[in-house]
Amino acid sequence: MKEKNPWHTPATIIITVIGVIAIVALVTVAVLQNRPVLQKYKYGIVLDAGSSHTALYIYEWPAEKDNNTGRVEQKYSCKVKGKGISSYANTPEKAGESLNECMQESVKQVPKERHHETPLYLGATAGMRLLNLENSLASDKVFQAVEKALQGFPFSFQGARILSGQEEGAFGWVTVNYLDDRLKQGLETTGALDLGGASTQISFVSDNYDISESPSNSVTFRLYGNDYNLYTHSFLCYGKDQALLMALAHQTKSGPKTIVDPCFHPGYLEQKQYSVLYDSPCVSARKPQNPTTTFSHTGAGNFTQCQDVVKKVFNFTSCQYSRCSFNDVFQPPLQGTYGAFSAYYFVMDFLNLTDASTPLETVKQKLASYCATPWNQIVQQHPTIKVKYLSEYCFSGTYIVTLLTEGYNFTSESYANINFIKEIKGSDAGWTLGYMLNLTNMIPAEAPDLPPLPHAGYVSVVTITALLLFVLVILSLFCFCPGFKKQPHIV
């Protein structure tokens, strides 16, 4: 007689089918119930009114997570046509008008139902700081015009203001460390180096920073349950455009008709106006007695001599602290890695010098050979690049190397810790994201309460438990129900 397989009884088949259905139902419920509801996003807009130009950034984050774990990302950026708002000192309404195009585009980029709750900020940096020093009435008028223009859009306008140098430095530091996920995870932070046209910022955490030595350089944060004591300093006038004016002013003290500038390429020749050169609080004190109205600016293309010219814009002699960078400004010992962005990146990227593995000596050699290249050759090789930028890369590269080494005291060794970056994970490095995160309280002081298990872990545990229960039921049926036991073999 053929032996009957006990597993093929109707009872076992029914139990198996019910068991499988139960498991599928259980896992489906676990997956669906615990899946985040369809993502809805919130938005924030920040205008970076820099000295050379204004840029608009739209940030986006999942609606339910804005207070803790959600990642804020850059969704869109727009470069405002024309110069920075500080250049409209004589025609303030035009400063407002200049923003219209990018603002109209933002209206399309942000879903309509979110418009009214989307915060809109404008922060101005060193260009407006200088205008405010020079002519505060003119800077107030520019702000009035800009505010009027921004109030005309359907967003929740939160005001336009000048950021302090500390804010600019500290929010740049927050941005790079937030995007790198260093803050939430409590990892060692990275320093931030920002080079603009009219000012430059250095910000880093140094374990050897005694706040009492220079309290004005200290910014303290408590973020995700960790305390940070940040050193930050902003050097007004030491952005690359103002530094160039200061370097030119040094070379034209006696009011000559022609200067031979080692920071410009051999064969470069341009007529420049003294009035433009001295039209800045950064250089006015050096105005020569009887300057001719124009001078011929010619190039000699010599990196070493250019470094000597650049060094003259720094004061390395006075320091009332235990240690200084320059101009009698305290700076604690450098520590860790650094992200260098904005003009640091634009210049070093053009010069092909962003690779972190390039030694400082090689950087200097490459700069020396670039500066020595005749101007006509440079123009031929780069037909698409704006001539103004093109003529200044030799100066800017030399200025960057000198600022980093002579100014901030980076050595051949520590230079390798600098990463020249434009963006991190799709969001631009700069102060704007940190500024918005701060103003919207999006980085909590304390670590958020995370769910005990992530979604995938939750689904796995439910699935495994369901399977184990099913096996247990089958085994107990097999052990304790006589009908399930194998029948004795009948001979």
Name the binding residues for ATP.
Answer: 197-201
Binding-site member from 169, 172, 196, 301 for ligand ADP (CB under 6 A): 196
Q: Which is nearer to Ca ion, 180 or 241 (CB)?
A: 241
Q: Where does 184-339 have alpha helices with state H? A: 240-251, 274-277, 303-311
Burial (Cβ within 10 Å: 0-12, 13-18, ≥19) of residue 363? buried
Binding-site member from 196, 262, 339, 407 for Ca ion (CB under 5 A): 196
Q: Minimum Å distance from CB 244 to ligand ADP?
A: 9
Distance CA 323, CA 406 (A): 13
- 168 carries an active-site annotation: yes
SS3 assignment, position 420 = strand
427 binds, among ligand ADP, Ca ion, none (CB under 5 to 8 A by kind): none
Q: Which is nearer to ligand ADP, 131 or 424 (CB)?
A: 131
167 binds, among ligand ADP, Ca ion, none (CB under 5 to 8 A by kind): none
Binding-site member from 44, 169, 172, 197 for ligand ADP (CB under 6 A): 197
The pair phi, psi for residue 471, each rounded to 5°, is: -60, -40
Contact flag: residue 50 with ligand ADP (CB under 6 A): yes
Q: Which is nearer to Ca ion, 50 or 119 (CB)?
A: 50
Q: Which stretch binds ligand ADP (CB under 6 A): 62-70, 175-183, 194-202, 224-232?
A: 194-202
218-223 and 73-79 beta bridge pairing: unpaired
How far from 446 is each of 225, 326, 383, CA to CA, in Å? 4, 37, 53
Torsion sign (Cα): 369, 375, 381, 386 = positive
Q: Minimum Å distance from CB 264 to Ca ion?
A: 24
Contact flag: residue 125 with ligand ADP (CB under 6 A): yes
Q: Which of residues 260-299 bind ligand ADP (CB under 6 A)?
A: none
Residues flagged as binding site: 197-201
Q: Minimum Å distance from CB 379 to Ca ion?
A: 28
Contact flag: residue 172 with Ca ion (CB under 5 A): no
Structure-block tokens of residue 38: 């369809």
Distance CA 260, CA 263 (A): 9
Structure-block tokens of residue 204: 């880093």
Q: Which stretch binds ligand ADP (CB under 6 A): 193-201, 409-417, 436-444, 463-471?
A: 193-201
Distance CA 409, CA 326 (A): 10
Q: Minimum Å distance from CB 285 to ligand ADP?
A: 20
Q: Which is nearer to ligand ADP, 52 or 305 (CB)?
A: 52
Q: Which stretch binds ligand ADP (CB under 6 A): 119-127, 214-222, 313-321, 433-441?
A: 119-127
Q: Active site residue: 60, 93, 134, 168, which one? A: 168
Q: Which is nearer to ligand ADP, 103 or 390 (CB)?
A: 390
Q: Which is nearer to ligand ADP, 65 or 382 (CB)?
A: 382
**Pattern of binders to Ca ion over 36-55, x per CB under 5 A?**
--------------x-----
| Residues with Cβ within 8 Å of residue 74, at least 6 apart in sequence | 57, 58, 59, 60, 423, 426, 427, 428, 433
Contact flag: residue 146 with ligand ADP (CB under 6 A): no
Distance CA 171, CA 173 (A): 5
Strand-by-strand arrangement of the 269-273 sheet: 258-261, 294-299, 269-273
> E-strand spans in 96-225?
119-124, 156-162, 191-195, 199-205, 218-223
Number of chain positions touching ligand ADP (CB under 6 A)? 20
Phi and psi based region of residue 409 (left: phi greater than 0; alpha: psi -120 to 50; beta: remaining): left
Contact flag: residue 172 with ligand ADP (CB under 6 A): no
Contact flag: residue 347 with ligand ADP (CB under 6 A): yes
DSSP 346-409: HHHHHTT---TTS-HHHHHHHHHHHHHS-HHHHHHH-TTS-HHHHHHHHHHHHHHHHIIIIIT-
Q: Which residues of the chain form contacts with ligand ADP (CB under 6 A)?
A: 50-53, 84, 125-127, 196-199, 239-241, 342-343, 346-347, 389
Catalytic center residues? 168
Q: Which residues of the chain form contacts with Ca ion (CB under 5 A)?
A: 50, 196
